Amino acid sequence: MPKQVDPEARRQEVVDALFRVVVREGLQRASLRNVADEAGLNIGSVRHYFASQQELMRFAMRAMLDRVGARLRERVAAIGDLSERPHAEQLRLAADLLAELLPLDERRRAEVTVFLDFDTAARTDPAFADLSRRTAEGARELVRRILGRLAVTGALRPGLDLDTETERLTSLVDGLGLNAVLHPGLLAPEGCTAVLTAHLAGLAAEGGAAGAAGGDAG
């Protein structure tokens, strides 16, 4: 009797293999054949699920966005009502949420690496442009929601322009991710968290900055 294969599990297996190839060798080497070899499958098995490298990459990016989104939702659910927590703790929890977008461990490093290669490809390949924009918009929306919630609870200094601060913080997270992937010898995970925590502490209302600066966004 033929072995039953779970299609979703097989697709995820191929996506994981794609991530490993991109992290190790770059997007340009992530052909269907190379990904099939990495997954220990014949290329026909991969083509059964993905007709082209482009289709595989789009599926992989959507899977990564879903994966990161699920982790963020779990963290938000675990936090509960921010207003019941001290301002310094609110800022620390905000840093923890944003740290999900930084390459602080092997899993997140792979995600950021794949995203950077994908985003570079999207600059010249219209087939990837919508997902690249969706990712950029999602990051900004996350930052805007975090800052907006902190403002409502009084954890931020009054009078801040949240539009400007959203762009500043989004750019900071993007820059940290880029430099930590390209130059890990210059920017270690601890440096990423220290910079992120210091930035949020600089936005804090009086009395919240000192406690926030002592946090650990890992």
Q: Hey, CA dihedral for 178, 182, 187, 188, is it positive or negative?
A: positive
171 vs 139: CA distance, rounded Å:
10
50 vs 11: CA distance, rounded Å:
9
Which residues are CB-neighbours of 175 under 8 A, at least 6 positions away? none
Residue % of the chain over a pLDDT of 70: 92
For 160-164, the CB contacts below 8 A with 24+ separation are 160/203
In the block, residue with structure tokens 């800052």 = 147
Range ranked top by mean pLDDT from 27-36, 42-51, 174-183: 174-183
The pLDDT score that the predictor gives to residue 214 is: 53
Q: pLDDT tens-digit profile of 142-171? A: 999 999 999 999 999 999 999 999 999 999
Buried b (16+ CB within 10 A) or exposed e, 125-145: eeebeebbeebeeebbebbbe
Q: pLDDT tens-digit profile of 98-114? A: 999 999 999 999 999 99
The pLDDT score that the predictor gives to residue 218 is: 63
pLDDT band for position 212 (cuts 50, 70, 90): low
14 vs 205: CA distance, rounded Å:
47
Tell which wins on pLDDT, 136 or 212: 136
Q: pLDDT tens-digit profile of 115-129? A: 999 999 999 999 999
Question: Does residue 2 carry a pLDDT above 90?
Answer: no
